[in-house]
Structure 1
Amino acid sequence: MRFCRTLCVLMPLLGLPGCLSVSHPFANPGQEARRLTQDNLPPSRLSVPVPVPANAPWRPATARWAKDVVVALLGQSVPAVSQNPKPGDWWVRLGAKHAPDGGVIPRYAIVGPDGRVRARGEGAEIDRAGWLAADPDALNTVALQMAPDIAQNLTGIQAGLMHSDPHSLMNRAARVYFAGVQGAPGDGNVALGRAFYTLFPDTRNTVQTSAKGADYTVKTTVKIAPLPAAPKAKNAEQLVTIIWHVLTPKGQEAGAATQVHGVPAHSLDGAWGDVAEAAAQEAAGAVHTIITNYSGRDHKPLPPQTGADKDDDDMPLMHTSPTSPAR
């Protein structure tokens, strides 16, 4: 679940370096965003409620912990919100239990809109005194330690939902609308377009000339700019930048692959020839990667959860006393 990540890779188009930028925050994959129900992940947020009653004397301390968890989850690109879950929300139930040696083990459960626990996890054991005193550093450390595990479990939950959905990209090929190329000199627009249209399809991705029913749209732009000549250079050069934008049906960018290279000035003013084919071949692989990463179709589902659905707060999260006030 996806949470915005950037992956740079080498795209050696006749020596062209490139950068593959993949947006993947806990995202709704492609056209499946239109079909979200209460059984799918998540509407637009992951709620993290304060796990104690409003009149509990340790409410401020637990509220601080819940807020720390939200901030840590946002750092994992999970759209978490510190609030009580609303209808249709997925949410995180926080709690803790006694450790055999007298410490405290923070716990969490990921709960679906139907109230079922879909995943559980624990943080590292911390000192009981620091926990009961609601030490801010201890609470923040717990939140930072738990957040990656929560995010990973959310990814596995999403994978399980996709696995059971025959319409998801885990069970069918992605339908990609190729909107063409703009800005290239010579026959670049046509040559790049034809090469990409030929080289892109494989067993997991199809290409079409209509936006209707497409899971993603690919739009390509080419820019040519002069390069300052080196002091002893005999021939002027131009900088060629090709960007392959991959968009969701709502127009959001799922990722982009960029190819940049210096070429002899005006060498692409006519026929692109092998340059177009090399560029399209590298771009096809990059777009495959963007779609796979953004949709999450290669993620592995979580194993089935076992155990009774019960509250995870086996002990008070924090408490106040005459000698240990909450801060």
Structure 2
Amino acid sequence: MIRVFLVRRAAGLIGAAGLLALSGCLDVPHPFRDPGRLGRSLAANAPPARLAVPTPPAALLGDAAAREWSHDVAAALLDQSVPAMAQPIRAGDWWLRLGAVTRGGQVIPTYSVMTPSGAVRSTDEGAGVSAAAWAAGDPATLRLAARQAAPGIAASLTGIQADQMDHDPRSLKHRAARIWFAGVRGAPGDGDVALARAFAAALRDASDAVQNTSHDADFTVSCVVTVSDGPAGTTGHPQQHLQLVWRVVDSAGKEAGAATQLHDIDAHTLDGHWGDVAVAAAQEAAGGVRQVVSRYSGRDNVPLPPPGGAPVVANSQR
């Protein structure tokens, strides 16, 4: 799984006390990972939870080197959170067709994403490789070619998923995400109530709808607040560490991401009313949660146009 760590800062959350940092730990979606019931509902023809990488029959390599290259490509794609498997094609598989052509005295590796019906959905080319090293099946050369190509292939897969979502009226590209907010616990003073009210108000927009039940929710959000003793402080006043963790899970209960807010405060300053602090913290958290939902669902990803503008049926049988 690919993890993207974001750090955002907003002033004025604790008055003159300083800054409250929000860091979001976000899951970047890939269409060949099994995303559970939610993900399978995002596109009418979502790809299955694997990408087959068969041994190429015509890649200007010997049999052993061709097998090694397919394993190298599968391993490099796993590093990009694409569950690729170096195996023969099975019914219903999306798969990656490996190949190679000579151009300008070099070998150019090629990578075509294929639908189960055998149609080319996208094609990427790798960097030029020494023809002699390629023909010799040099292991380092094959591994390097696979590592260099993997990010582009993963990006193509994400674009394919986005195109499918774009054509599916049920996907989150065409409706607001249904979010059940399970509340806040652990905050001192009136923080549980104040944060919950402020967050529910801050999250509602055209992209996200907060509902009062978990039934049919796309995502569930909850927040846990912890307060622990800190250092004495530069002026001799006792300090406390304040941490707010806003956790987002999908409809299958899988972790979609989390946004964590951290701050050192004068001890017990939030033991009573949170007031504007709750509003500012909730607005910041809503932005982080919105990014988690967008990244995990892929609703903001740019669709990859079908080759030649022709529609592609994702899961048709060969």
Query: What pairs with 1:248-263 in structure 2 (closer than 5 Å)?
Result: 248-263=250-265
| Equivalent residue number for residue 135 of structure 1 | 138
Calculate percent identity across the aligned residue pairs.
48
Residues of 2 paired with 1:17 and 1:260: CA distance? 6
Residues of 2 paired with 1:59 and 1:247: CA distance? 45
Change (3 A) 1:246 1:66: same
Contact 1:31 1:249 in 2 (8 A): yes
Query: What pairs with 1:194-205 in structure 2 (closer than 5 Å)?
Result: 194-205=197-208
Does 2:289 correspond to 1:291? no
| Equivalent residue number for residue 268 of structure 2 | 266
| Equivalent residue number for residue 206 of structure 1 | 209
CA displacement at 1:235 relative to structure 2: 1.4
Residues of 2 paired with 1:37 and 1:198: CA distance? 29
Residues of 1 paired with 2:38 and 2:92: CA distance? 17
Does 2:68 correspond to 1:70? no
Alignment equivalent of 1:153, drawn from 146, 152, 156:
156
SS of equivalent residue, structure 1 residue 6: strand
SS of equivalent residue, structure 2 residue 243: strand
Contact 2:228 2:242 in 1 (8 A): yes
Does 2:233 correspond to 1:223? no
| Equivalent residue number for residue 316 of structure 2 | none
SS of equivalent residue, structure 2 residue 228: strand
| Equivalent residue number for residue 86 of structure 1 | 90
Contact 1:73 1:80 in 2 (8 A): yes
Residues of 2 paired with 1:307 and 1:170: CA distance? 20
* TM-score of the two chains, using structure 2 as the length reference: 0.88
CA displacement at 1:57 relative to structure 2: 9.2
Change (3 A) 1:277 1:38: closer
SS of equivalent residue, structure 1 residue 185: coil
Alignment equivalent of 2:55, drawn from 50, 59, 76:
50
| Equivalent residue number for residue 5 of structure 2 | 7
- One-letter code aligned to 2:4: T
Residues of 2 paired with 1:37 and 1:228: CA distance? 51
Contact 1:5 1:25 in 2 (8 A): no
| Equivalent residue number for residue 191 of structure 1 | 194
Alignment equivalent of 2:241, drawn from 224, 239, 242:
239
Change (3 A) 1:22 1:172: same
| Equivalent residue number for residue 23 of structure 1 | 27
Change (3 A) 1:172 1:28: farther
Contact 1:224 1:238 in 2 (8 A): yes
SS of equivalent residue, structure 2 residue 256: strand
CA displacement at 1:207 relative to structure 2: 0.4
Residues of 1 paired with 2:212 and 2:79: CA distance? 38
Change (3 A) 1:37 1:143: same
- One-letter code aligned to 1:8: L
Contact 1:225 1:238 in 2 (8 A): yes
| Equivalent residue number for residue 39 of structure 1 | 45
Q: Which runs of 5+ in 1 are unaligned?
A: 309-327
- One-letter code aligned to 2:262: V
Question: Between Structure 1 and Structure 2, how many residues are aligned?
Answer: 301
User: Larger radius of gyration, structure 1 or 2?
Assistant: 1
Higher strand share: 2
Query: 1:137-167: CA deviations, max 9, x gaps?
Result: 2111211121111011101101100000000
CA displacement at 1:98 relative to structure 2: 2.3
SS of equivalent residue, structure 2 residue 109: strand
